[in-house]
Amino acid sequence: MASIILITLKGIFRDRVFQGIMVTALAFLLIPVIASLSMRQVTELSLTLSLSMISFILLLLSVFLGGTSLWKDIERRYTSSVLGLPLSRQRYLLGRFGGTALFVMIAAVVLGAAAFAVVLYSSAIYPPERPVIWSTMGLCILFDALKYILLIAVAFFFSTVSTSFFLPVFGTISIFLAGGVTQQVYEYLRSPASKSLSPVVKQIAAGLYYLLPNFGAFDFKVNAIYGLPLHVEGLLLTLAYFVVYVGILLSISAAIFIRREMR
């Protein structure tokens, strides 16, 4: 499987995706300037902009790399060659997923380093009221990367059932949008404000809450920006959620992919 991961990484690097990220990362240079326009809370704004930019770049990578990796292999008939080798479809799928996920993690590290530099510079020039907790910022970026790895698993799942790239790409975007609000919807359903809703709607919404990935659970931006403490139990629970959800998604994807006919 390591060789498939390596091949996947080579493909991404040689398609100049990484260079694209580096060019985009140049925008980090503008963050201190833009943040200084706020006159106050410059560091907090630098943090907000940096984390949002990382999140946006990782989102693009997850949707387009995750949504097209498998589809491209099938479309260009690379799978006919690769699956003719003594390589099981599960290993192939996991290798492609692993390579894409690893690249997203590498991108998160590189962009995270740029974000650290930006926030360090801003906090040195405009010292914040509350000190920046670097470990929280690091964990925030790490969990953001995990969120997008989960999104890649969603994209791979769609790729195994689809013959075009529409479902993997647009389906993944839809799931991302829906998964970002499930927590709020769930909390609304449990609040007195939802009394007017019919029980059927409530049950459907609750069902979707459990079915769709809960991306809100991975969001620690507020903690990073305002230096709020993180709870270890919350982090471990999110980590366990990530492992279980990705595990289930990849298992279903593998089960579908094994049955898929490579015409």
**80 touching another protein, by CB under 8 A:** yes
Per DSSP, the residues of 26-89 read GGGGGHHHHHHTTSS-HHHHHHHHHHHHHHHHHHHHHHHHHHHHHHHHHHTTHHHHHTTSS--H
* Among positions 19, 38, 81, 251, the unique one binding another protein when judged by CB under 8 A: 81
CB of 258 to another protein, least distance (A): 9
CB of 89 to another protein, least distance (A): 8
Per DSSP, the residues of 211-226 read HS--GGGG--HHHHHH
214 Rama class: left (phi>0) / alpha (psi -120 to 50) / beta: beta
How many residues at the interface with another protein, by CB under 8 A?
A: 21
**88 touching another protein, by CB under 8 A:** yes
- Which of residues 10 and 40 has its CB atom nearest to another protein in the complex? 10
CB of 91 to another protein, least distance (A): 8
Cβ(144)–Cβ(57) below 8 Å: no
Nearest-10 crossing angle of helices 172-179, 134-161: 140
Q: Kindly state the tokens that stand for 211.
A: 């079915």
- Which of residues 27 and 262 has its CB atom nearest to another protein in the complex? 262
**164 touching another protein, by CB under 8 A:** no
**7 touching another protein, by CB under 8 A:** yes
**192 touching another protein, by CB under 8 A:** no
Residues lying near another protein in the complex (CB under 8 A) are found at 3, 7, 10-11, 14-15, 76-78, 80-81, 83-88, 259, 261-263
